[in-house]
């Protein structure tokens, strides 16, 4: 069993904040990133936790000082793009640089003209629902290391460089599960210990795929992208997780979505 994580305390604070009507405050009309991130940061501060300040190019967003934990925060407008999200050049992972990583998905109203109030000159709106999940639930691979590369010599004069800056698109827990919509849920590997504050509301299993993408090729003449695949030596390997809520929350069951196939398609990759 893995020892208890600070994620348990963080989840409790997030639930209490939602129940007490703690609103998200917009940073600006164009902000799509830091409004929910700031809301989450206040929960960490209320716990008296020490963390490294987030920045635009840091991963995960919040890196705890007194524990080997990190939190990556994703705010999603609802209704809107909620089945997948852009990972901004860092593939989802449950572990990174010695830290276990938790993903915080919070949804807020897309139509702020109908679901927001003005407080101190800023537009404020509620958190509709929230899932904190261990990164392994999104991707259990710990071997891949992200790197950006480039090639030179492109163009009619041969002095243009093409930079390969990868963008990953991954499914959200709202797409992978049933029973999380409109609620607050914590998803952890079954090996992580919990305490009496929590009730189990679901057992979730993700099974490794039959093929692994180990490379890709882009044809500049046809603009076609093709993947290189190899058989997965651990095909069918199950990764087991459990869904939890606080004992005072609803016990509505959480389960894996029946038809998660097709979550990732060409639509939505350039939406944001």
Q: What is the pLDDT of residues 145-154, one digit of tens each?
A: 888 899 999 9
Q: Which of 71-85, 102-116, 217-231 has the lowest mean pLDDT?
A: 102-116
pLDDT confidence of 39, banded at 50, 70, 90? Answer: very high
pLDDT confidence of 89, banded at 50, 70, 90? Answer: confident
If you average pLDDT over residues 137-141, what whole number do you get? 95
pLDDT, residue 272, reads 39
pLDDT, residue 46, reads 95
Rounded Cα–Cα distance for residues 59 and 51 (Å): 13
pLDDT at 74 over 70: yes
pTM for the whole structure:
0.90
Q: Which of 21-25, 129-133, 249-253 has the lowest mean pLDDT?
A: 21-25
pLDDT, residue 268, reads 44
pLDDT confidence of 208, banded at 50, 70, 90? Answer: very high
């Amino acid at each position: 069993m893995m020892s208890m994580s600070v994620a348990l305390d963080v989840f409790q604070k997030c639930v209490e904040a939602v129940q007490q009507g703690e609103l998200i405050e917009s940073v600006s009309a164009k902000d799509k990133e830091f409004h929910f991130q700031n809301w989450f940061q206040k929960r960490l501060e209320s716990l008296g936790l020490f963390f490294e300040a987030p920045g635009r190019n840091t991963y995960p967003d919040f890196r705890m000082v007194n524990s080997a934990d990190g939190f990556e925060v994703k705010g999603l407008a609802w209704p809107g793009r909620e089945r997948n999200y852009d990972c901004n050049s860092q593939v989802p992972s449950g572990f990174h640089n010695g830290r276990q990583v938790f993903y915080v998905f919070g949804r807020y109203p897309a139509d702020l003209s109908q679901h927001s109030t003005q407080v101190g000159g800023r537009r404020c709106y509620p958190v509709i629902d929230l899932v904190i999940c261990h990164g392994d639930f999104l991707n259990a691979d710990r071997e891949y290391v992200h790197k950006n590369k480039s090639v030179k010599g492109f163009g009619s004069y041969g002095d243009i460089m093409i930079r390969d800056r990868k963008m990953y698109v991954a499914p959200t827990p709202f797409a992978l599960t049933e029973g999380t919509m409109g609620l607050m849920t914590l998803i952890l590997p079954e090996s992580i210990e919990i305490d009496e504050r929590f009730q189990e509301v679901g057992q979730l299993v993700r099974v490794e795929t039959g093929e692994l993408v180990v490379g890709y090729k882009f044809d500049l003449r046809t603009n076609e992208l093709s993947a290189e695949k190899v058989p997965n030596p651990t095909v069918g390997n199950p990764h087991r997780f459990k869904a939890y809520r606080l004992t005072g929350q609803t016990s509505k069951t959480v389960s894996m979505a029946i038809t998660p196939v097709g979550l990732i398609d060409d639509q939505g990759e350039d939406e944001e």
